[in-house]
A = this chain, B = another copy of it.
Amino acid sequence: MTEITGTGDPARSLSLLWRLVEPSPRGRGAEAGLSVDRVVDAAIALADAEGLGALSMRRLAADLGVGAMTLYTYVPAKAELLDLMVDTALGEFPSLYTPAADHWRARLEAVARASWAQYERHPWLLQVAASGRPPLGPGVLTKYELGLRAVDGTGLDEVAMDAVFTLIEGFVAGTARGVVDQVAAEQATGITETEWWEATAPILDRVFDPERFPTVTRVGPVAGEAQQAAYDPRRAFEFGLARLLDGVAVLVDAAP
């Protein structure tokens, strides 16, 4: 279940994200005391607690004690609601980011860990396809600003600064997605990752041909044993982050 953002008129979306529309308590004026913010907050709470799959317009409306169609007074459609959710959740970045200041590498590592923490808090962020046309609201821009500052003063030009932040951010998101997928699989099946691996490994052993997959035969069991699973996202995060920062360091050292 992936949702798409960046649908809908850019002008309309941006004015929503930056809350350019007045609260306008006219006419019957917010009968149930609702507002865009209350809707968005409830949506985030629901997605946090029960996953993006549980977030339907009817369910959200029920949580807020109104009819389903009432939500459309505050939000043009579900896609825009998701934009707002993403921007709001990503806006928590500064509270999770405590940079060790002096060296770019320490700052960039802190960015990666803060980003990881965000995805742990709001796993549904990873199920919203926002990379192509991000909701350019205050939350997203704040995260982008702090991310760029981490690589500022390294001698890299503007294009490279953007590329480095995007690379780190994409890496974190990709790896965090592994956690989300595992949790989703556990919830869907009632079987933990370790149990699944223990059930799968012996059957697999019997079914596959060591002559055809000699390197897998040598490496697979060692790696599987080390992780107690087919894939351990947390290990992958630590390993990958170190490699990535090493790679960026090569670039920084080459810069004037």
Interface positions of A (Cβ within 8 A of B): 1-8, 10-11, 14, 18, 20, 127, 129-134, 136, 138, 141-142, 144-145, 148-149, 152, 158-159, 161-164, 166-167, 170-171, 173-175, 177-178, 180-182, 184-185, 188-189, 193, 196, 199-200, 203-204, 207-208, 212-216, 218-220, 222-223, 226, 230-231, 235-236, 239-240, 242-248, 250-251
Question: Could you tell me the distance in whole angstroms from the C-beta of A79 to the nearest C-beta in chain B?
Answer: 9
Question: Could you tell me the distance in whole angstroms from the C-beta of A160 to the nearest C-beta in chain B?
Answer: 8
Q: Please, how many angstroms separate the alpha-carbon atoms of A142 and B215 in the complex?
A: 10
Nearest residue (CB) in B for A187 is B4
Contact A11 B203 (CB under 8 A): yes
A-B pairs, 7 with minimum CB distance: A247-B247, A174-B174, A243-B247, A162-B223, A132-B181, A158-B222, A246-B247
Contact A170 B181 (CB under 8 A): no
Give the residues in chain B near A244, CB-CB below 8 Å: 243-244, 247
Contact A159 B127 (CB under 8 A): no
Question: Could you tell me the distance in whole angstroms from the C-beta of A65 to the nearest C-beta in chain B?
Answer: 30
User: Can you report 29 A-B residue pairs in the complex whose CB atoms are below 8 A from each other?
Assistant: A1-B1, A1-B2, A2-B2, A2-B127, A4-B181, A4-B185, A4-B188, A6-B189, A6-B196, A11-B199, A14-B204, A129-B181, A131-B231, A133-B182, A133-B185, A133-B193, A133-B230, A136-B204, A145-B213, A145-B215, A158-B222, A161-B219, A163-B240, A170-B174, A170-B175, A170-B178, A173-B174, A243-B248, A247-B250
Contact A189 B7 (CB under 8 A): yes
Nearest residue (CB) in B for A11 is B203
**A7-B188, A223-B162 known; A152+B240 contact, CB < 8 A:** no
Q: Please, how many angstroms separate the alpha-carbon atoms of A159 and B1 in the complex?
A: 32
Which of B10, B196, B204 lies in contact with A200, CB distance below 8 A?
A: B10
Nearest residue (CB) in B for A166 is B236
Contact B226 A148 (CB under 8 A): no
Question: Could you tell me the distance in whole angstroms from the C-beta of A97 to the nearest C-beta in chain B?
Answer: 14
Nearest residue (CB) in B for A2 is B2
Q: Please, how many angstroms separate the alpha-carbon atoms of A225 and B152 in the complex?
A: 19
Nearest residue (CB) in B for A134 is B230
Nearest residue (CB) in B for A163 is B239
